[in-house]
Amino acid sequence: MGGGGRMNEDTADKNVLKRVPTKKTPFEISDLKKAIPLHCYKRDLARSLYYLFADIAICFTWYQIASNLIPLLPKPLNYVAWPIYWFCQGSSFMGIWSIGHDLGHHAFSEYEWLDDAIGFVVHSAFLTPYFSFKYSHRSHHAHTNSMEYDEVWIPKRKTDTFYSEVLNNPLGNLFMTFVRLLLSFPMYFTFNIHGREYNGFVSHFYPQSPLFNDSERLQVWLSDAGMVAAFYGLYKIAAATSATWLFCIYGAPLLVMNAHFIFFTFLHHSHPSIAHYDSREWDWIRGALSTIDRDYGILNHVFHDVTCAHVVHHLISVIPHYHTVEATKAVKPILGDYYKYDDTPILKAFWRETKDCIYVEPDEGAEDSGVYWFRK
């Protein structure tokens, strides 16, 4: 997964860890938009539906294999087959969830009401509050890598000694890896873990949460209703089959999907070469460029290129996923050193970022610069 380049170790580290420039960009977003072919902006409903239904068909195929064939295997093979199914089905879930993410950005069709209707069903099926996430994620795109106003993956400071001292060791890094991959997805939506600090209780399920403004609260209630309906449906399935069957067919793949989401979003926004900015220095375009494209091998295709074309997605989020790779190639000559692509093998990169991106601080002698870099 994510074989990356075949450079020697020294060359790879020298290139991928080179800092992205923090001075104001010599180009504007309008320059980038002009460089992208016009057809990349076209939201083709038929093509979007093709990808959605193709992913659903793949999920159904995995389900048929698991429910009809795995139980027939003898026990030693049975124990191997289930985890393989969980990974494959969880990866397929992530592909559908990624299309739901496109729907929240109105990058699926020309009809926003249709995007919201399909996105509501898709995300509710994977226990994600559609409208609640749509609104907080929109704020994340509006304030990417702002120390004060970003909505997710807010870096810790050195003064947070639990992270900078207690967990800053191999055992602590391993502990945080398991906590992130297993618990961060539901805890983010429920308790805003990794999110921005607010006054009062913050939750994607709480309509009065400071995450939302008054015009959004009704749709947050609707998101909650979708979650209730999904849980009720799962309860009825468990009653008709068994809790064990439901866990094996749906629950374990959902955990894999959750881990995928945390894994690649963490890697999108954690890298020694990218800066965070406070209000003295932050501007939208440098914030949007403070993210990373990576190579996940075949999973790039499964996840609809959200992994390898994330930078352009932050710049112009209404481009459909099937055009983001082409759009990335179009803007790279303009971005130059402001574009970050890391071809480090994914598991190696995840461990490196886990142990090297513990907290952020300004460079020594530049404490008032408003620019923060990851430290360990």
CB 111 within 8 A of CB 118: no
Q: Residues of the chain with pLDDT > 70: what percent?
A: 96
Mean pLDDT across the chain: 94
Q: At what angle do helices 170-191 and 346-356 cross, to 10 degrees?
A: 90
pLDDT confidence of residue 333: 97
> Which residue, 204, 244, 247, is CA-closest to 226?
204
The neighbouring-strand residues paired with 157 are 360
**Tens digit of pLDDT for each residue in 211-242?**
999 999 999 999 999 999 999 999 999 999 99
When pLDDT is cut at 50, 70 and 90, the band that residue 133 belongs to is very high
Tokens read off for 39: 């057809």
**Tens digit of pLDDT for each residue in 266-317?**
999 999 999 999 999 999 999 999 999 999 999 999 999 999 999 999 999 9
Tokens read off for 170: 């191999």
Rounded mean pLDDT of 194-220?
95
> Which residue, 277, 244, 289, 259, is CA-closest to 350?
259
Rounded mean pLDDT of 96-105?
98
pTM, entire model = 0.93
pLDDT confidence of residue 163: 85
pLDDT confidence of residue 79: 93
When pLDDT is cut at 50, 70 and 90, the band that residue 14 belongs to is low
12 or 359, which is more confident? 359
**Tens digit of pLDDT for each residue in 304-326?**
999 999 999 999 999 999 999 99
